[in-house]
Structure 1
Amino acid sequence: MDISALLLFIPACFALNMAPGPNNLLSVSNATRYGFKRSSLAGFGRLLAFAIMIALASAGLAAVLQTSAMLFQGLKIIGAAYLIYLAIQLWRAEPDASAQAGDVQVSMLRLAWQEFLVAAGNPKAILIFSAFLPQFVDVSRPVAGQFMVLGAMFLCLEVIAICAYAGMGVHLQRWFAEPRGKRLFNRGCAVLLTGAASMLLVARRS
């Protein structure tokens, strides 16, 4: 892997990291309800899921997902169902209650687990790793090491995306300070999560 490949990889990869998606939307929503720090730390659940996917793609196991229609369909349904569950929770959330008792009722582990499940429930993610990262690998050199370096860089850039979307959520929290505004924002996020679930259900293997 040479410098020119890295110079192409970093901006292309960061564009993928910053693209609006279920996990980034979840970071925004969590930041408005629990603050920047908790939302950012919860993102490590997403990083764990992505690290596992990168390892699977590196081992060539993504080919199994690529060829197994039943496995791909099953992951899609599970992922979409969980997104819809989160959407229902947001739609029904009472802004006053979440503001007063959110820190007590929702543990950091639970928030991180949500991030993990949303990331792991998207079978397209591992296919992205298996199709995107190899484009920047020099096949004339040892492949495994290059793949892991690219994967590590992806995860570092993902940390920036997590913090950026959490910061966005904090600013939005100021705009929706009143209970009515918070309720509208929560329900807007619920609609977007439902839309993401619908897109996941109609997604096809590339």
Structure 2
Amino acid sequence: MDLSTLAVFIPACFALNMAPGPNNLLSISNASRYGFVRACSGGIGRLLAFAIMIALAAVGLTAVLHTSELLFLGIKLVGAGYLFYLAVQLWRARPEGDDNEAGLASMSRAGLARQEFLVAIGNPKAILLFTAFLPQFVDRTGTVTQQFAVLGGLFLVLECIAIGLYCYMGIYARRLFARPSGKRLFNRMCAGLLASAASFLLVARRA
């Protein structure tokens, strides 16, 4: 893989990493409620889900999603349902408990990682992204699996940067909405964005 390919891939990939999708919105919300370190740790779940998707794309299994409307619909409904569930939980959250020890302990790192994993793995458009985007930078005359590994690894590294940046946004938002009324407003704004993401997912079609 030559440097000219990477010079095009890295900025294009980072633009995708920074797109305000469901996982990035979740990172903002989690950072505002549980802190920067815990929210970043939860991003491990997202990285695991994306690593699985990249592996499936590398062996061609995601082609099944392109041909199976039923499978695509099933994953889409489960993913949208989980996003709606998170939106309702966030809407009903008590902002008074966000900064005390009990509020911070209400969700473990494993729990946040599980949230991130389920949101990522339940988005069929994310799965199809890897079959539509990564192959454009693969030289078919070379070792395809090795190139997928390099490109996938770079994607995950850039995703780590995106997680950190979005979690920092969440910390900034927590300071901006320091009062309980402000926290409630911020929680409900995030809940509305997650519900909107779920709605967009419901109307998504296979590319």
TM over 0.5: yes
> What SS does structure 1 have at the residue aligned with 2:105?
helix
Partner of 1:205: 206
Q: Whole-Å Cα distance in 2 between the matches of residues 102 and 94 of structure 1?
A: 9
- What pairs with 1:187-202 in structure 2 (closer than 5 Å)? 187-202=188-203
- What pairs with 1:39-78 in structure 2 (closer than 5 Å)? 39-78=39-78
Unaligned runs of 5+ in 2: none
Q: Deviations over 1:46-67 (max 9, x none)?
A: 0000000000000100111111
Unaligned runs of 5+ in 1: none
Identical pairs, percent: 66
Worse-superposed segment, 179-188 or 94-103 = 94-103
**Offset, 1:140:** 1.2
Query: Contact (CA 8 Å) 2:51, 2:156: kept in 1 or not?
Result: yes
Q: Whole-Å Cα distance in 2 between the matches of residues 89 and 35 of structure 1?
A: 18
Q: Does 1:24 align with 2:20?
A: no
Letter in 2 for 1:146: Q
Q: Whole-Å Cα distance in 1 between the matches of residues 36 and 152 of structure 2?
A: 25
**Offset, 1:103:** 2.3
Q: State the superposition RMSD in angstroms.
A: 0.7
Letter in 2 for 1:26: L
Letter in 2 for 1:87: A
> What SS does structure 2 have at the residue aligned with 1:99?
coil
**Offset, 1:70:** 0.5
Query: Contact (CA 8 Å) 2:33, 2:104: kept in 1 or not?
Result: no
Partner of 1:7: 7
Query: Contact (CA 8 Å) 2:46, 2:116: kept in 1 or not?
Result: yes
TM-score, normalised to structure 1's length? 0.99
Query: Contact (CA 8 Å) 2:31, 2:168: kept in 1 or not?
Result: yes
Q: Whole-Å Cα distance in 1 between the matches of residues 75 and 89 of structure 2?
A: 21
Partner of 1:128: 129
**Offset, 1:106:** 1.1
**Offset, 1:99:** 2.5
Q: Whole-Å Cα distance in 1 between the matches of residues 124 and 178 of structure 2?
A: 36
Letter in 1 for 2:70: M
Partner of 2:167: 166
> What SS does structure 1 have at the residue aligned with 2:98?
helix
Q: Deviations over 1:73-125 (max 9, x none)?
A: 00000000000000000000001123221222211100000000000000011
Letter in 2 for 1:56: L
